[in-house]
Structure 1
């Protein structure tokens, strides 16, 4: 009975009673009411603690709004600041291109010629160009730089100096590899070329001209909403992981949905412009070796869209512009989990803008976490059962050779080996990005807890069986 009640409580906690949102295609122009209804339903079906979103068209904001709550129960609004993670890269690319427009940065000149202090342990680093940084084709990758050492940097200047041990994975300009280092180098290049800190340059040359009054790259100036992680359906408020967030060109921007509307309008060619038409087109143009442009990329399933995602450890975000229709979209969530719902919600908004019925959203995270919870629950139960039956097992195997005993115990030891290699396995799955143990306690917490409990159950069963077997044989 207790087991049944536990499972029922778990299912209720995961919010599986909430059905995915399904909405009919709009019969006329996309209106604030249609958008608002869709986002309210999306919040309910995804179970997110809070989200904010904006839709633009031409030179106007169609709708900007906030839904749900942040820490302390405060409601999320269109003006709630959020960390937007790698959406920052489009801001960094724009900052560089402003200076390219002014002739203060050479896009096809080498970084080493324009950035004092930039050296690598690989001679090929001297040939990396600014364009290759922005196109993510420099050859710098997570495995070829010391990420841990870089995260200890106190400034962008210090960050660049710590790349002296870095190597390149490929010849510059020949292969795409997503790496935050490229955009932090670009941010430092902005500082050197402009004489301003990266944050001050964005404030003066991007945020202020566009009227983005709730935007910054330093949480001392704009305090973002505190983020959340889902732990088997329970949203836990947590501070974002430290590691060079402030003034970061790769992921430091803090902004609001209302401000983001002005940004999307500008990048769709409307409203106030901070770039020349040629420079704007360059930021949206794919490189010769990959679809990735400069902080934007054509969407895989819909190449007409230019998009970029953003993922930190307690925040997720997604932006898209549709140059053909003039629509722009951004969705921010003050949470991070095993599934990113912001991507699905933006796709739903895109469908609505085209007069189509959006696909259902929500349920994926809940299902993932339910499956993991059941596995964890089962592992604990099997571990307890293994402990209770360890004496009986030892008597059954008392006369077997040790190698046969070891063979029988090997499957139980597999979770231990899997757990030991856990960060490396996740790193391989994410394309070689560096993953640490501390990071795996955030958005991946349900998976990490499940693996830990499975490992503990297997290890304890093996240990108890060996202890019992040794005791039986010694008294034999």
Structure 2
């Protein structure tokens, strides 16, 4: 999850909160020696392959792919593991890249802006028929503010759950009519997917094409991205996976909103295709916009270090990651050195291995030692142990409920009720779980369906603890009534 003021604004919110919780629990429960750092390595094809092979083995993630570029060349592109059909992952295997899609949508908008079909600094309402909100400030929202996420859009004032049922980008935009802004346009930054879905609809209106057709004709084809699309009817990535206590399970039914043609997270692509994308983003190879247009997309806004679909780092590098419940991805470029890195996976656990890989490979590109490849095994073990402990405590609580009731026979009801509160606290925590995670997520809305995906081990541990505590409380009350009747 994002911390209150995220350094990497596109890192998955629930994943970060869940991972932090799990790691904290793991650290409390188990103690292991720190792994020694890997020896220094150059960013050669052999070094990249060696690291990714080790990471794939250490994490256990089913499928993983990577591409490293420099200048106008691909240094290394490869796949590791398998997809949900059992086929070997290659550099051409398609993956959902989730919020990495935002930089693609920004490119589509910039292409049309340079052709005069979209005005970046003019109000969206003047350029997009059917777009309106229950907030008069919407008339001030510009296209650039959408792409910089400074429009005032927020999960706290937009019903993102309702938006998940949208059947098209046009329908999506129409559903915003009864929503409001959280701040004056251009004054604050907040990560919100509706920004880029409205932008994708604007692409449709300005171009006279569907978002899918525009992306294929004006972005994918010119760059030679042959395994990329905006919907799985064109390129099928198969099912993704979630990790439950070390067991990777194929899962369907991603729940993070509309996927088909979604400007915020609908792109499907491969490592090899991402290589072509990184090359053009670094100003090399085939170019879709002018040098000034590319620079504008890489520049932070006046209120936050986020550009048009890119997080701008203090060292000048740019990064964006994404999560769609069973898929993780990350892209990174260094305009100064000309390096580019993208990592994709079809498995989402408590730790984001794509971000781990990106950080390690970026360190190697700078001649630094990468951290030891690892996954989320410690967190998975800790949560499995806590789940087992909750089950055991629940059984003990039920078995000892007769003795507990006997000791409290004849006591005032209010004192008995107070004694039951501690065992009911896990149930209160579980029922508040999505709301609490949303509260610490910088305003992002976390729904019940979403917590059953990559946060599954944590969710299950909390559920079992809630059920164990509730069963203990019910058993105590039943026994207390039985003891009272007998008396």
Say yes or no: TM over 0.5.
Answer: yes
In structure 2, distance between residues paired with 1:369 and 1:381: 18
Partner of 2:480: 469
Contiguous gaps of at least 5 residues in structure 1: 1-10
Post-superposition Cα deviations, 1:106-146, rounded to whole Å, max 9, x if no partner, equal 00000000000001001111110001000001111112112
- Paired residues of 2:299 and 2:312 also in contact (CA < 8 A): no
1:401 aligns with 2:415: no
**Which residue is 1:331 aligned to?**
343
Shift of 1:20: 6.5
Of 258, 270, 287, 2:301 maps to 287
Give SS of 2:121's match.
Answer: coil
Q: Could you list the per-position Cα deviations for residues 45-101 of structure 1 after superposition, in whole angstroms to 9, with x for gaps in the alignment?
A: 122111000000000000000001111321111000000000000000010000111
Q: What is the number of residues matched between the two proteins?
A: 457
CA distance in 2, matches of 1:86, 1:72: 25
- Report if the CA contact (8 A) 2:271-2:342 is conserved: yes
Alignment of 1:448 with 2:448, yes or no, is no
Contiguous gaps of at least 5 residues in structure 2? 1-25
Q: Which residue of 2 aligns with 1:131?
A: 144
Residue 297 (structure 1) shift: 1.2
Deviation at 1:182, TM superposition (A): 0.3
> TM-score, length-normalised on structure 1?
0.93
How far does residue 21 in structure 1 lie from its aligned partner after superposition?
8.8
> 1: CA distance between counterparts of 2:372 and 2:145?
38
Whole-angstrom CA distance in 2 between matches of 1:427 and 1:335: 23
Distance 2:251 2:391 in 1: 27
Give the corresponding residue for 2:471: 460
Residues 426-467 of structure 1, C-alpha deviation per residue, up to 9 Å, x if partnerless?
Answer: 212222222221111111111111111100100000000011
Q: What is the CA–CA distance in structure 2 between the aligned matches of 1:342 and 1:226, rounded to whole Å? A: 18
Query: SS at the partner of 2:85?
Result: helix
Higher relative contact order (CA 8 A, sep 6+): 2
Q: TM-score if structure 2 supplies the norm length?
A: 0.91
Among residues 101, 104, 124, which one is paired with 1:88 in the alignment? 101
Aligned-CA RMSD value: 1.7
Give, in whole Å, the separation in 2 of the partners of 1:285 and 1:353: 23
SS class of match (1:310)? strand
| 1:366 shift after superposition | 1.4
Q: Partner residue of 2:52? A: 39
Checking the alignment, whether the CA contact within 8 Å between 2:360 and 2:371 is kept in structure 1 is: yes
Whether 1:308 and 2:320 are equivalent positions in the alignment is yes
Where does residue 165 of structure 1 map in the other structure? 178
Q: 1:350 aligns with which of 327, 348, 362?
A: 362
Q: Does 1:122 align with 2:130?
A: no
Give yes or no for the alignment of 1:229 onto 2:242. Answer: yes
Judged with a 3 Å threshold, the aligned counterparts in structure 2 of structure 1 residues 21 and 193 are, in CA distance, closer, same or farther, namely farther
Partners in 2 of 1:82 and 1:199 — Cα distance?
A: 17
The Cα of 1:361 is off from its aligned counterpart by 3.0
**What do the CA deviations read for 1:24-49 (whole angstroms, capped 9, x no partner)?**
213xx532111111110111112211
What corresponds to 2:219 in structure 1?
A: 206
8 Å CA contact 1:228–1:238 kept in 2: the answer is yes
Report the Cα distance in structure 2 between the residues aligned to 1:197 and 1:23, rounded to whole angstroms.
48
> Partners in 2 of 1:110 and 1:124 — Cα distance?
10
Given that 2:54 and 2:373 are in contact with CA atoms closer than 8 Å, whether structure 1 keeps it comes out as no
Cα contact 2:328–2:344 (8 A) shared by 1:
yes
Report if the CA contact (8 A) 2:152-2:182 is conserved.
yes
Aligned counterpart, 2:21: none
